[in-house]
Amino acid sequence: MVTGAGTGFGAALAVRAAQEGAASVIVHYRSSAAGAEQTAQRVREAGAQAELVQGDITSWADIKRMANYAFGEAGGLDVLINNVGDMASGQASWTEVTEEAIDHVLSVDIKGTMLMVHEFGQRMVDAGGGAIVNVGSTVIVRGSPRAPQYAAGKYGLLGVTKSYAKALAPTVRVNTYAPGFMETEALLSGTPAGKIPKPEEMTGAALFLASDDAHHITGSYMIADGGYSMLGA
């Protein structure tokens, strides 16, 4: 299951999962119904079954409904990729921050992701295993003077990942994957890898964390941004 799979990186992840041999992919969306259907069609074209599920991850009731569906009618779940996040894209500067903007970003990025891990993770334990990948961000390395609440939300995501990696061990693995999407020439010049990949090119690393090859990796944070946010000693 990939959340926010109606558009962008979520759609690319869902299709790549099918291409890598997933028998079935649950395509989650909140409001992008048309996009989700397009993603589902691409998943089917890649050789997998596709199911659509709608829900708002800021609603615990919606999350419980989706989890019951995934582990009931849909027949179970091996992998959950929590791709949904709010980066306050409409905010140009920290000076524009509002209490409403803070509440919404933290509700999605921390509360929503935590409850997804909570509900789906315990069902994975009951079912005997699984892997959860939370999509993070390089803002935990660089900060976000544009939208501090976004950086705070992604820092909180690390706490969710580490806490549930321990709580659900050894049955379920939980990791964070942080792709670095950069779009300007200035950022390109500052990226040691010298390229800005398309979303489709970033899916493999995320799915690696969900695969059996990553069987001994849990509670970790993996960054993939071409060296832009190199960590010091």
Number of H helices, E strands in the chain: 9, 6
Active centre residues (catalytic) = 150
Question: Cα separation of 29 and 46, whole Å?
Answer: 20
Question: CB burial class (10 A; 0-12, 13-18, 19+) of residue 20?
Answer: middle
CA distance 187 to 171: 40
In angstroms, rounded to a whole number, what is the distance separating the alpha carbons of residues 113 and 80? 11
CA distance 88 to 17: 28
The number of residues making up the chain comes to 233
88: three-class secondary structure by DSSP: coil
Q: Is residue 153 within 8 Å of residue 170, measured between CB atoms?
A: no
Q: Which of 168, 201, 199, 196 is CA-nearest to residue 183?
A: 196
